[in-house]
Amino acid sequence: MEWTGEALLIGARRHGEASLIVEAMVVGRGRCLGMVRGGRSPRLAATMQPGNTVQLTWRARLEDHLGTFTVELLQARAAELIADRKRLYLAQTICEHLHLLPERDPHDRLLAMALGLIDHAPDAAALARFELALLEDLGFGLDLERCAATGAATDLTHVSPKTGRAVSRTAAEPYKDRLLKLPSFLFERGNASPDDLKDALRLTGHFLDMHFWSARRRDPPATREPLIDLLTQH
């Protein structure tokens, strides 16, 4: 079996003395793994960096086999990312997030959002929206349309940390210390303050932790908190 597709490299690990097991988000195919023979060679070292866009050709005898990749570099980003700490941390965080997706399940919207984040100036608001979209695609989307208590569709200011449902200002008042803040920029046009950005990323981080990091006994991306600090400085 064989297919070819454009992909964002999101990870690689050693396999034997000279090869790599490569993980990539492939257009139309989702998160795919394959072995690259000689992937640790000097000739391929610069190509096999997470954050690069490549053309992959996958071959295997059966569909459920790991298979092998041949790789052609389309867009090199590694040198640019290393030169910009914010972009580097952002790219590393995004790649770690994409590891949460199931294998061979297309998520082209998330891939497009990831590439947009990596290729533009680091943006905390865009990162929060990406994490909301990630939760939705993983089946744990937040319900931010109406108040869980009153059904109101306006003046939504908080989110229940247990259910992920929005709560209006009036209904939230007696329980504010137990609820997560819901910054209005997530569903309305407008500027976001540094505190709004922190609240948005605290919100998404809470549900990523609840459903994935703590649930799977794994650590959150090591770059995420330093990145938030860099992106939300006053």
pLDDT at 125: 96
pLDDT at 96: 97
Q: Which residues contact 122 (CB under 8 A, 6 or more apart)?
A: 86, 87, 89, 90, 227, 230, 231
| DSSP secondary structure code for residue 221 in this structure | P
Task: Report the C-alpha gap between 170 and 99 in whole angstroms.
Answer: 39
pLDDT at 40: 93
Separation in Å, CA 218 to CA 41, 58, 138 = 31, 29, 17
Say whether domain 123-231 belongs to CATH 1.20.1440.120: yes
Per-domain boundaries in the chain: 2-76, 123-231
Separation in Å, CA 18 to CA 13, 14, 15 = 11, 8, 7
Task: Report the C-alpha gap between 216 and 214 in whole angstroms.
Answer: 5
**pLDDT tens series, the chain, 234 aa:** 999 999 999 999 999 889 999 999 999 999 999 999 999 999 999 999 999 999 999 999 998 899 999 999 999 998 999 999 999 999 999 999 999 999 999 999 999 999 999 999 999 999 999 999 999 999 999 999 999 999 999 999 999 999 999 999 999 999 999 999 999 999 877 789 999 999 999 999 999 999 999 999 999 999 999 999 999 986
In one-letter notation, the amino acid at residue 141 is G
> What is the CB neighbour count within 10 angstroms for residue 17?
6
Separation in Å, CA 219 to CA 80, 105, 132, 223 = 27, 24, 19, 11
For residue 41, give the H/E element and its range: none
**Domain 2-76: which CATH number of 3.40.50.150, 2.40.50.140, 3.40.50.300, 2.60.40.10:** 2.40.50.140
> What is the CB neighbour count within 10 angstroms for residue 109?
11
